[in-house]
Structure 1
């Protein structure tokens, strides 16, 4: 039985972030192909993590900058290694190349960190994104990791185009892999007349979500004045004190915090309002809103990658970047049943493009083809080979230095204990 080794940045938390349930969908893809799976991470195990043992997936802890990982690799001998975000490839990629050179190296970018960072920098400076923003040190690191891997899973076609056209990453090293939804039906059981209030959901640790909450707080008085009696309910994992302090029931502004299931944030709500000012990737909140038949008002960044049609013609709601346009769209969709129903009716066609049944065979065919022709595939990736040579040598020596330093510190600590 072939082995998939997943090196996780964190343990999957599907109820905390879209990244969590995306990871589970990738694990499911390999489970269906009969792979044994080990999920390994250096992160602490969270009480909110998914119990992977329920799926027969083994869990393992790994140490950073430690020879013990090489011993684990030697024992496991994975056929495929999946890095969860580029930082994991930086940390562990050279070990994999040293110990398991024939393992297929996959990178799940989740979203492009360098794109999100560039947009955040521009947002903070109140200006448009520039080419210089996109050529940051972070971008150099992330694109280098992409080039060192055999295939990188890109979550949206917008990011796929950026990688090929701006960063000149060969198409042969990229694979479009959005969210893989087992169920693409839309729940329309709760009607316009019986729905109430407006919702937003997002992990508070994710800066784009936090800035969206602050923007909602700023927009809310004007929106509340136009929709008397309507409330805004904000859900999200890990709410910090600065978020709970925004809770203002008398003004109809509610910080709800954790939601055990996405249905809590959408099922009975008439509208989802997500004024995201920056970010990257696909937005899980938009997907979930569609699944529960809740029209969405968001920005172009919020809708990016959701609809492949020019101008987001098929988007199930409204898209606007300016505050006035966002407010007007929210009021119109909240009050006008016919407009609301038209938006809801667009959700099925939008969701269909993320059907696991449709996408998984294509994904697996491409992955299997690369694995079967791995030598020739790698021979055409000269830039990746060059980057491996330079990066892995420097990273290897640094890791060995850190390991030696840690051992020396441990010995000195033991000697002090013995003296006492």
Structure 2
């Protein structure tokens, strides 16, 4: 495929940007940290690693136990007709990796004549239900659900091997996805190839198993998605909805198209039908009825297609024509598609910028948009990528993402909006978007004004070279704004700065996005001080050098029992060395869940001496009712007033005095706690940003 001028400009801009950032990093981080960052950008990418499939070994029958509960939340209904070896493999998988949720397992015997009758009663915890007469798959399912006791019901074929976590992933989807009505698993062949990640139905009633024979890791098939139907081999829905719909339609007896019909009925009732690839189930397709549609039970598949097409003709008229090849563009054609370009997927447990981006994505999904995330470094982000996929974000990565330009050449035309995050990513990607997605609204998310942060750091350090770098960053950042349709800022202070520096730029404000957690523990139950911030961010390194080196000893002189908890990834040696010399300082490094430190520590400190944007560490504490002592820089643009919402101090003596005063004064502490919660709700909550998000991305 030929390389366009836009592709060449992308490569050149990327190399120039990497060189410039490396030079700046040498001055601020030193050669070791800079070399590590260069290696990250240039290393080869391994393919993403998923857990190997669990397949229970074939062995002689011996009694065993499966999960069971007298008050199940989920009922797993397994219809069987002979093939006891498959049934045992399915049950052994459930026993080997029991779900976290309380469940019951019902094997509904539809007239087996093999060892099923002898062996199933010996499986402890199993509800073995024998039907009076053979009636086929549909009647066995309806009968089994009628005997179940759970709030949710799962239909599970006996020729399946559920993988660890499969059931909990299905159930979790109902809690995180609005209007979820039916959720199916990703089905795999025993050799690991994809059998189906949801189904596509064409206008004549024929169907397509999406992703058949391809890799289950392919980004097209590995994210939560609305599907036309999900196979009855493994699907979940609320028992109340099942009863409302009357179960599987018996006009399709004995089998085939009943699961497709159920999905259409769920949708007609106002609910969504979803496939959740985080739920993986191995399915030995064709065990019960073979694959030949010309004879036997399988022949009903052909007959029932006509029955289905006649029943749902008005709905099918809006479906793709037979022969269409399903693609992401086709499957999401009814949604507004939003592209996000950033170096890496957000890690909301590590930095406030990631939390803001993650919550923005959640807001877009809740508004019905389809979000596609392309990390320009092409890396699979492990758990962070999988978390986005479970929400329904189409995330791309190597080897399926060969290059940003190549990918945009194929996918660019489907986007209504393309958001570029941070100025160096935007500089690289703007030419590609102009060439391959000219119809898309170009949104530039600054995260913060980099040139403003760099300028302040240079002025604090008294470094003329850094000051020149900041001016070069200013030129590049303003050029990106000029090439974008909308520039997104995080604070009113930055908006005021741009009114001076670039008054013609269209600006919108989407600040930090937090959910208000609540007040946490009262003053009397709290103790100590805390700081939260990642140390790849130079302002945080400087803040801890100043606080631990100059401020904390003054606090300990008046509060000798107080401890200081320093939380954040990538703690540099200079901070660790300072902490080792200062009694009462505890360096925790990265902490996956910081909530206990927000809910149980008395005061948060934000001693930043330079920076820009809005400080997520301040929002995070206030969202938990934890008062904050901060510098003027740390609360810039956050609608906070000294003494009313926060305590502000900028020199070591004043900062220490403010901490000691707040630590001892319960009434002041309570006042600031309530005011901080109110501030987050009014200015930094998801509700506060909703109108702007709709205006930028959806109108």
Interval containing the TM-score (normalised by the shorter chain): 0.7 to 0.9
1:271-420 matches, within 5 Å, as 271-307=603-639, 312-313=641-642, 316-351=645-680, 352-369=682-699
Distance 1:146 1:199, change over 3 A: same
User: How far, CA to CA, are the matches of 1:349 and 1:297 in structure 2?
Assistant: 17
Residues paired across the two proteins, number: 357
Are 1:74 and 2:405 counterparts? no
Tell me the SS of whatever aligns to 1:123. helix
Q: Distance in 2 between matches of 1:358 and 1:277?
A: 28
TM-score by length of 2: 0.48
Distance 2:486 2:558 in 1: 50
Residues 246 and 3 of structure 1, relative CA distance in 2, 3 Å threshold: same
What CA distance in whole angstroms lies between the structure 2 residues aligned with 1:56 and 1:101?
25
CA gap 1:362/1:19 in 2 versus in 1, 3 angstroms: closer
The aligned counterpart of 1:170 is: 504
1:246 deviates by: 3.7
Instruction: Show the counterpart of 1:191.
Output: 522
Please list every run of 5 or more consecutive structure 2 residues that lacks an aligned counterpart in the other structure: 1-334
Q: CA deviation at 1:337?
A: 1.2
Alignment correspondent of 2:452: 115
| Structure 1 residue 241, shift from structure 2 partner | 3.8
Q: Please state how far the C-alpha of 1:249 moved relative to its aligned partner.
A: 8.7
Q: Distance in 1 between matches of 2:463 and 2:645?
A: 29
CA distance in 2, matches of 1:257, 1:273: 16
Q: Secondary structure at the match of 2:357?
A: helix
3-state secondary structure, aligned to 1:197: strand
Relative to structure 1, the CA distance from residue 46 to residue 315 in structure 2 (aligned partners, 3 Å threshold; closer, same or farther) is: farther
Q: Whole-Å Cα distance in 1 between the matches of residues 696 and 403 of structure 2?
A: 33
Q: CA offset at residue 354 of structure 1?
A: 1.8
Are positions 1:202 and 2:536 aligned together? no
Q: In the TM superposition, what whole-angstrom CA distance separates every residue of 1:77-108 from its partner, at most 9, and x where no partner exists?
A: 22211101111111111011011111110111
Matching residue of 1:375: none
Residue 154 of structure 1 deviates from its aligned partner by 0.4
The one of the two structures with greater contact order (alpha-carbon pairs below 8 A, sep at least 6) is 1
Distance 1:344 1:68, change over 3 A: closer
Aligned CA RMSD, in angstroms, stands at 2.5
Q: Scaled by the length of structure 1, what TM-score is found?
A: 0.79
More helix as a share of residues:
1
* Alpha-carbon separation, structure 2, partners of 1:184 and 1:261: 16
Helix, strand or coil for the counterpart of 2:374? strand
The whole-number CA distance in structure 2 between the counterparts of 1:358 and 1:184 is 12
Matched residues in 1 for 2:354 and 2:509: separation?
18
Deviation string 1:349-374 (CA, Å, 9 cap, x unpaired) is 211222322321243135445xxxxx
Offset from partner CA, 1:105-147 (integer Å, 9 cap, x none): 01110011001000000110199xxxx8797011000111011
The superposition leaves residues 159-194 of structure 1 with CA deviations (integer Å, 9 ceiling, x where unpaired) of 0110112x12325x110111233x33532x411111
Report the secondary structure of 1:81's partner residue. strand
Partner of 2:119: none
Match of 2:513, SS state, is: coil
- Residue in 2 that maps onto 1:402: none
Task: Return the match for 1:179 from 505, 512, 533.
Answer: 512
Q: Is 2:490 aligned against 1:155?
A: yes
Is 1:256 paired with 2:591? no
Whether 1:53 aligns to 2:386 is no
Give SS of 2:601's match.
coil
Q: Is the 8 A contact 2:478 2:502 kept in 1?
A: no
Partner of 1:224: 556
* Bigger-Rg structure (1/2): 2
Alpha-carbon distance in structure 2 between the residues aligned to 1:368 and 1:47 = 29
- Once residues 282 and 69 of structure 1 are traced to their aligned partners in structure 2, the CA distance between those partners, rounded to angstroms, is 30
Residue 98 (structure 1) aligns with: 435
Q: Which runs of 5+ in 1 are unaligned?
A: 370-420
Distance 1:305 1:250 in 2: 33
Equivalent of residue 139 in structure 1, options 452, 458, 474: 474
